[in-house]
Amino acid sequence: MNDLTHLDKDGNAIMVDVGDKDSTERTATAAGSIYMEPETLKLITDKGVKKGDVLSIAQLAGIMGAKRTPDLIPLCHPLTLTSVKVELSCDATRNAVDISATCKLSGQTGVEMEALTAVSIAALTVYDMCKAVDRAMRIGDIRLIHKAGGKSGEFKAS
């Protein structure tokens, strides 16, 4: 197992120095789901939630979340993202809203945390907008599914 990069030799938290790394095109895609009662999913698809269009607002929240990642995760580098795409879709067979986020940049460090944050914030927004009718919703399966670029190369989840 590799050493943890965010700890120095004494166990103190550090922000990794990426100053000597080459700038390369980097992408990351994350995914997750929020599970709910069938009636809640129908309210979302029928745009019947009183707070507004759940999917559009959650999409925007996910994009905003990716941009604010270093404000939320203490040792993340502030990045100049060149693209953030968040997609939400409803799956009536699983009573779920599925979320994916892809972040891109040309830089010295990866965008995995930005993609994961985008999915998480989008899911939390769905929960917030629908909690008045379904407090038992469950957020889950948030994971990195693809990453490319940088020294470590490509990763694809199995």
Phi, psi values for residue 58, rounded to 5°? -65, -35
53 is catalytic: no
Encoded tokens for 133: 């009718």
SS3 of 65, please? helix
Q: What does the DSSP 8-state code read for residue 67? A: H
Taking each helix axis from N to C end, the angle separating 112-130 and 54-67, rounded to the nearest 10 degrees, works out to: 150
Phi, psi values for residue 134, rounded to 5°? -155, 90
Q: Exactly one of 20, 98, 128, 141 is catalytic; which is it?
A: 128
Count the neighbouring beta carbons within 10 Å of the beta carbon of residue 122.
31
Q: Tell me the catalytic residues.
A: 128
